Every structure is written in structure tokens, then in C-alpha cells.
Amino acid sequence: MRLALEAGFWLLALASYWLLPDQLPLLSQIAIGALFVLSLDLLVGYAGVLTLGHAAFFGLGAYAAGILAQQGWGEPLSGLLLAAVLSALLGLLTAPLVLRGGDLPALMVTLGLSLMLGEAANKLPGLTGGADGLLGVEIWPIFGLFRFDLYGHTAFFYSLAVLFLLFLLARLITAAPFGLALRGIRGNARRMPALGTPVRARLVAVYALAAAYAGVAGALLAQTTQFVSLDVLSFQRSAEGLLMLVLGGLGALYGAMIGAAAFTFAHHVLSEMSPLFWQFWIGLALVALALAGRGGLLGLGAAALRRWRA
Amino acid sequence: MLTVLVDGIASGMLLFVLAVGLSVTLGLMNFVNLAHGAFGMAGGYVCVVLLNRHGLPFPLCLLAAAVFAAVLGLVLERLLYRRLYGRDHLDQVLFSIGLVFIAGAAVDWLMGARQQLITLPAWLSGRVELGFVGIGVYRLFLIALCGIIVLALHLGLVRTRFGSRLRAAVDDAVVARGLGIPVERLFAVTFALGSGLAGLGGALGVEVLGLDPTFPLKYMVYFLIVVAVGGANTVLGPFLAALLLGVVDVAGKYYVPQLGAFAIYTAMVVLLILRPQGLLAKAAAR
């Protein structure tokens, strides 16, 4: 049953290529958003570490891949790798600052670091293009075979394939003892050492891992759109990531992806009516979700399923 | 040099008035309220509307801004905030970010996205010559008014019964409740007071900090710095933090404009690493 549902989910994701052939860029964006939220889920949902600045890693990955391609090396997979490595390094470097205990310091430091990075990108137009964005990003064909086309056919399959592979990895990781230790830490960080879990080392590891995931998501965005703008580092992106996560359901990998899909679709439909409208609704959704508690869409679905069976 | 210093002090004092309510929300209820700036924005717009459209005298507009924000704070606290005490910080963060987005969209819809400008009354505009430098009258007015507020808050917190109850509740809410201190009511009143002060700060700040629908987000970091660096439970801690922030910010923008806001964010991260419990906190606190 569970396996069938999972297979159905991925088949539907693949089938969206034929179901919505005019919306390929939107679908790629959903895959990229899902990867970003997956990364947040590992950190916030599984390990219980709060962050308001996850866009820092997304943006670093985007700029790393974008600048690499702009400087004349447009091979996409090595761009993803570079983004992952750099973001993981930044994660390792900043983890000691963020994981000092307490939610408030974590929130403030992550927020401060992401704002610092955003401001740095803004003030270094020679490197990042500043407010004009990074232009002249040229990506070579994947494996030398599949060219990125104007309509986003290649971009769609590329984003979906990367998402699928990294999802499989995340699934392995969360089912392994490592993932169980993370859940234990979220439940009660003080008692975990009694079980022999090195709490700090686990948290640093998951922080770096989540950073690498976010970096890859950013790199995917840079490569598929062949453009990087300052908003990859914006506070809005961090906040929206959290919203997608809570919308889908915290601490469940499918929840993260469903949240990203629902959010991006809603964004697409509502912001076409009026961008103001959109901001209002997203705010209202956040307030309602916070008041109603966790679960999200996945939780609602599971509850409905239980009622139907009973 | 002196002008920069005075400007810095004035904007620091403004930041204090805007942020002091947040230090109580964070310190007393352990509530991460990222929407605090929205109350400042509400006060700012009330002042702009009354002054520009209805031509009320400026002091009256300030008063109206403070009262409006305080009532708004009280209503929201009773209706919404109350339900989230003791919940996860993540819920509180999401809730308050949501409020910020709603407030921004609502104001944008009502008033438009442009910067709001006000014309100060004649007795507050212009400059006075002090020795060889000119200093804006409005800056001096800000320093004087905010100075009075700081003094009043400090005395209120240290000398009155309300203040000692509040300090007790911040120190240990559970024991305070056990001693019969009505922590809930105390907090509702303080929340309204803090919101009202934020509204006043927002109204005073239209001329200095600017006012547009992004106000709560733009200054959210500043408020958080004031509170996190200053620590809760005193007036002086956040006050010093706000002054420092104002001077560094203005001096940074004046002398090294190419750094922009980078200096402020760096200062915040460094201070948080060095003094995670706040500037004046005793080392042995928990």
C-alpha cells in the first residue's frame, strides 16, 4: 500500500510533463522548491533546529553554479557538486555559531548570517552582478547530450531527476540510525547522550547536510533559468520555505514536496490575479497554520484516510 | 562629526522606543514576535493620515498613533497571541511572519507602496547652531522626548509595584504565578503598552526612518538586535544596545556607505556570539 502510494506519487510527478505541457518552467520550479523544502525538513522537521536564514545556502549554491558557468565551465553536474560542497562548507563553518543552544539565538544567528550574505552579494557587483543579477550564464548540455532548450523540456527532467535521487538519499538517511537519532534529539536533546548519541556531532552533520541540499537546489535554479538574482538570498525565500514545509507537514519527506507543489501552484494562480492579494493570502495561511497546529496537508490527508477506514 | 553623533543618538533612541515592547514579549512570555514592527507601522500611518489629511496638530497625532497601536496590540493579544503562548517557537515565528505579511499587504492596499512623507510643524523644523555645528531641531526634540520615556520606563520598572511584579514575572513566571501575581493580565497590559510605544516610535520615526509597507520587515532585524543584545528585564540594557546600534548604523552609512547594512549584521552576529545572554546580563544567569 505504502509502496504503491509512493510509486504513484513519482509517476504523477513524471506524468505532469504530459499533463501540463505548457507549464514546464513552473513544474521545474516546483521540483526545485521541493528540494529546498526537503533540505529544510531535514533540519527543522527531523532535527528540530530552527532557522530563519536557510536562503543563505540556497543563494550560495545558486551563485556558485552561476559564476562557475559564467566563467566558462558550464558543465551542469560539476556545477551542482561545487554548489553542494561550498554550501556544506559554509554549513560546517557556521554550525558552531548556530547550534549554541536555544531557539532564539539560532533564529537570530541564521537570520543575521543570511542577511550578511545577501548584503555582501549586493555590494559585490563585480562578482555577482549586484542588483542587476548575474548575466551570461551558459550551461552546456547534460552529459554532452541533452541541451537546455527554451521551453524547459530538459530543465524539467533534469530537476526532477536530481530531486528524485536526492529524495532517495534523504529517505535512506532518515530511516538509518542517524535519522532516528535526529528525531530523538528533537524529542529530548538532554536524554539522547544517555543513549550514547553524540548530540552535537549529529546536529552539525545534519546542518551541513541540509546546507548541501539547499545549495544543490539553488544551483538547479541558476542552471535551469541561466540567471541568478539577489532574491535567491532574500528573507522572503527563507520564510516561504518554512511556510511550504508547514503547509505540507513537518518531519515527513513527502509532506515537504506536497507543500512545495501546493504552494507554488497557489502562488502561480493567485499572484496572476494580483501580487498584493498573494502576500495577503500567504500571511493568512501562515497565521491559520500556526494556530491550527502541525500536520499540514499530509496530516489532513492521513486523518481523512483513517476516518475513511474506520 | 557631532552631527553624526547626534543623529545616531536620536535614531538609537527611536529604535529603543520602537523595540522596548518586544523585549517584554520575548523576556516575559518567551514569545518570538517578529510582527512587533507592524505596530510601529500602524502608528506611523495613523499619524500620517491624521496630519496630512485632517491637519491635526502634530502632538495630537503622536498621541493618537500611540493609543491606536496600543488598542490594536491589546485586541490582537487577547484574540490571537494568547493562543500561542507555550507553543513551539516555530509556530510563533510562522504566526508572526504571517501577521507581518498581512499587515504589509493591507497597508499597501489602503495607502499604496510609496514612501510616506510628513511636513513637520514649524516649531520642529529647521536647525539650531550650537557653536560651529548645526543640529536639527527635530533630532533634539526626539532625544528629549525619548529620554523622558526612557526615564519614565526605568523608574516605572524599578520603583513601582507594577514594575517589581513585572520583573518577578520575567525572572520566573512559574514562581511569580505561585505568589499570586496575575502574570496573564500583567502581560496583556505590558503588551498593549509596548505596542503603544512602538506606535509612538513609528509615528516619530516617519521623518527619520521612513515609512512604507516594508517597514516591519526592514526594521525587524534592528528590533531583534536591540532585544537580543540588550537582554530582557532591564530598561538600560536595551537602551544601551539601541544607542550603540543607532550610532554605529548612522556612522556606518555616513562614513563607509559602500558597506551598507553589512556592518550592522556583522556587529549583531559578533555580539550574539560574544554575549549570548545580552550586553548587561550577569555571567551566571542560568
Q: Identify the pLDDT of residue A88.
A: 96
Give yes or no for a contact between A206 and A177, defined as CB atoms under 8 angstroms apart.
no
Name the one residue in this structure whose C-alpha cell is 558557468.
Answer: A69
Q: Identify the pLDDT of residue B33.
A: 87
d(CA A201, CA A95): 10
Q: Is B55 helix (H, G, I), strand (E, B) or coil?
A: coil
Give yes or no for a contact between B197 and B259, defined as CB atoms under 8 angstroms apart.
no
Interchain CB distance below 8 Å, B221 and A112: yes
Name the one residue in this structure whose C-alpha cell is 536524554.
Answer: A191
d(CA A259, CA A239): 13
B269 chain-A contacts, CB cut-off 8 A: 97, 109, 112-113, 116
End-to-end CA distance of chain A: 17
Give this complex's ipTM.
Answer: 0.80
A277 chain-B contacts, CB cut-off 8 A: 105
| Segments making up each domain of chain A, as ranges | 2-309
Name the one residue in this structure whose C-alpha cell is 501577521.
Answer: B99
d(CA A225, CA A214): 17
Interchain CB distance below 8 Å, B104 and A279: yes
d(CA B235, CA B230): 9
* Structure confidence by residue, pLDDT tens digits, B155-207: 988 889 988 888 888 778 888 888 888 888 888 898 999 999 999 999 998 88
B99 chain-A contacts, CB cut-off 8 A: 283, 287
A284 chain-B contacts, CB cut-off 8 A: 98, 102
Helix (H) or strand (E) holding A155: helix A153-175
Interchain CB distance below 8 Å, A112 and B259: no
Interchain CB distance below 8 Å, A291 and B83: yes
pTM of the model: 0.86
Give yes or no for a contact between A49 and A229, defined as CB atoms under 8 angstroms apart.
no
- Other CB atoms closer than 10 Å to residue A305's CB: what's the count? 11
Helix ranges (DSSP H) in B30-160: 36-54, 58-79, 89-111, 137-159
Q: Is A228 helix (H, G, I), strand (E, B) or coil?
A: strand
Give yes or no for a contact between A238 and A114, defined as CB atoms under 8 angstroms apart.
yes
Give yes or no for a contact between A20 and A265, defined as CB atoms under 8 angstroms apart.
no
Nearest-CA residue of chain B relative to A283?
B98
B95, B262, B276 ranked by CB distance to A119: nearest: B262
Interchain CB distance below 8 Å, A284 and B102: yes
A100, A120, A286 ranked by CB distance to B95: nearest: A286
Computed from CA positions of residues B55, B60, B62, B64, in that sequence, does the dihedral angle turn out positive or negative? negative
Say how many residues make up chain A.
Answer: 310
B89 chain-A contacts, CB cut-off 8 A: 50, 103-104, 107
* Structure confidence by residue, pLDDT tens digits, A10-21: 988 888 888 888
A119, A246, A290 ranked by CB distance to B265: nearest: A119
A55 chain-B contacts, CB cut-off 8 A: none
End-to-end CA distance of chain B: 41
Inter-chain Cβ pairs, chain A and chain B, closer than 8 A = 119
Interchain CB distance below 8 Å, B102 and A283: yes
Backbone torsions φ then ψ of A196, nearest 5 degrees: 85, 15
Q: Identify the pLDDT of residue B46.
A: 93
Interchain CB distance below 8 Å, B101 and A286: yes
d(CA B117, CA A261): 41
Computed from CA positions of residues B133, B139, B145, B148, in that sequence, does the dihedral angle turn out positive or negative? negative
CATH topology of domain A2-309: ABC transporter involved in vitamin B12 uptake, BtuC (1.10.3470)
Give yes or no for a contact between A225 and A219, defined as CB atoms under 8 angstroms apart.
no
- Residues in chain B where the model's pLDDT stays below 50: 282-286
Helix (H) or strand (E) holding B74: helix B58-79
Give yes or no for a contact between A90 and A34, defined as CB atoms under 8 angstroms apart.
no
Q: Identify the pLDDT of residue A20.
A: 83
d(CA B43, CA A43): 38
* Structure confidence by residue, pLDDT tens digits, A46-79: 998 989 899 999 999 999 999 998 888 888 899 9
From the CA atom positions of chain B, what is the Rg in Å?
A: 19
Q: Choose, out of A276, A277, A294, the residue to mutate when testing the contact with B (most B CBs < 10 Å).
A: A276
Gap from A11 CA to chain B (nearest CA, Å)? 32
Domains of chain B: 2-274 (1.10.3470)
Q: Identify the pLDDT of residue A221.
A: 93
Crossing angle for the helix pair B183-205 and B161-171, to the nearest 10 degrees:
100
A122, A277, A286 ranked by CB distance to B94: nearest: A286
Q: Identify the pLDDT of residue B131.
A: 67
d(CA A138, CA A199): 43
pLDDT, tens digit only, all 310 positions of chain A: 778 888 888 988 888 888 888 888 889 999 999 999 999 999 998 998 989 899 999 999 999 999 998 888 888 899 999 999 999 999 999 998 888 767 777 888 898 889 889 888 888 888 887 778 888 777 888 887 788 777 788 889 999 999 999 999 999 999 999 999 998 888 888 888 888 888 889 999 999 999 999 999 999 999 998 888 888 998 889 988 988 898 888 888 888 899 899 888 888 888 887 777 788 888 888 888 888 765 667 777 777 777 777 6
d(CA A296, CA A244): 9
